[in-house]
Amino acid sequence: MSFNDFNFNTHISNAIQRCGYTAPTPIQKQAIAPILERRDLLGLAQTGTGKTAAFVLPTVQHLMETSGKQVRVLIIAPTRELAEQINEFTKKIIQDTRLRSIAIYGGVSKQAQVAKIRNGVDIVVACPGRLLDILNDKEINLSHVETLILDEADHMFDKGFLPDIRRILRQLPKERQSLVFSATMPGEIRHLAEDILSNPVTVQINHTRSVKSITHQVYSIEQGQKTELLVHLLKLAHIETTLVFTRTKFKAKNLAQKLAQSGFKATSLQGNLSQSKRQQALDGFKDGTFSILVATDIAARGIDVTGISHVINYDMPDTAEAYIHRTGRTGRASCTGEALTFATAEDSRMIRTIEQALDGKMNRQAVDPVVLATRHAEPEARSGERKRMPTGNKSKTSSSSPRPRNRSTASGVFGFSGRSKG
């Protein structure tokens, strides 16, 4: 199947070429035709599958073929970054048309957004909180919306947005096309989808499995050795653009600072940053100013940076779905990537759960105690910064080194030993 099979108009076909897409991805193959037919759709697909283009391309074609009052398309996303990304992509598709698109989210001036709405917009990509705020101010009219798209619906639920979404839905006309995209289908999302969608087409893209182009490695490690192992791995030549995940905002900030002090081009993306600082971090990661971004799950949601070579789980994610989301940041489209996970003994159960979701074993990597010769302070510890980098020189190993008591402790937590299981 090729993009020609969809009979897109010349403008959309040119836009697809501009994006450099040569063939539709699986979700695009399945979703574009029903969306063009104005069917409702439930898309079970994780980020990285090409779902944004799957809903934006046919929706823009519909807008170009018909006329109507503003606002005609409402896309709701759980995070500012995702809203911004969808809006950027949409702007790329509608460039040279009369259509206008805006992203609406909190943390930045509301006045500027209201001014744009007053000037007229056809497509609104919004986070629920700020949209409700502007709705309450009566500065936006959603009574002409023809297409509603909920993206990453499961994350809206995680973030407690469902009551807001239902409030927003009450402002929309009943007659409309609705599309819901979600990587997972918890009961609450299923109920929401049943309420919103009418006779939907369901499209499911391998949602429980991580992208095939990713290799998955597990390093059995003690908590106090993680920073040393990270520094060691980052020094290896083939580690390029790397996204590192920590469990807490505080850890993300401190770990990024520690890496920067050690000479790496590292920054953090976490919820405590102002919107402009978040954007700075993200832009810097995209343009290569930073090659390492340390992030929390929430902050990293929807990040679309091409060419991420490695995702490192400094802390184990809480669920297999979170693992799939994190690691979906690498190996995107036609690229390959590596996912490295640091696992302590307590994480062994989660590793098994993840392997079930991946439907395959992860490669066990033994940690060479020699490379962990110098203790680095954990990022939680506020003191003890400016420690020396590990040199790999055995003579520097002291009796207080975090060297595992025996080799099986380092490599055998999951019943494997040796460098790699393959």
Q: Which residues sit at the interface with ligand AMP, rule CB under 6 A?
A: 21, 24-25, 28, 47-53, 304, 306, 332-333
Based on CB atoms, which residue is closest to ligand AMP, 51 or 403?
51
Based on CB atoms, which residue is closest to ligand AMP, 88 or 368?
88
Based on CB atoms, which residue is closest to ligand AMP, 73 or 117?
73
Based on CB atoms, which residue is closest to ligand AMP, 4 or 395?
4
Give the nearest distance from C-beta 182 to ligand AMP in angstroms.
13
Give the integer Cα–Cα distance in Å for 413 and 422.
Answer: 17
Based on CB atoms, which residue is closest to ligand AMP, 325 or 332?
332
Give, as one character, the DSSP assignment of residue 382.
S
Give the integer Cα–Cα distance in Å for 125 and 104.
Answer: 6
Residue 74: its H or E element? strand 73-76
Length of the chain: 422
C-alpha of 344 from chain center = 24
CA-wise closest residue to 173 among 105, 62, 73 = 73
Residue with tokens 């403008």: 11
Based on CB atoms, which residue is closest to ligand AMP, 49 or 267?
49
Give the nearest distance from C-beta 213 to ligand AMP in angstroms.
12
Give the nearest distance from C-beta 24 to ligand AMP in angstroms.
5
Is there a contact between 188 and 112 (Cβ–Cβ < 8 Å)?
no
The tokens of 357 are what? 């979701």
| H-helix segments, 20-161 | 26-36, 51-65, 80-94, 110-119, 128-136, 153-158
Is there a contact between 73 and 147 (Cβ–Cβ < 8 Å)?
yes
Residue with tokens 């897109």: 8
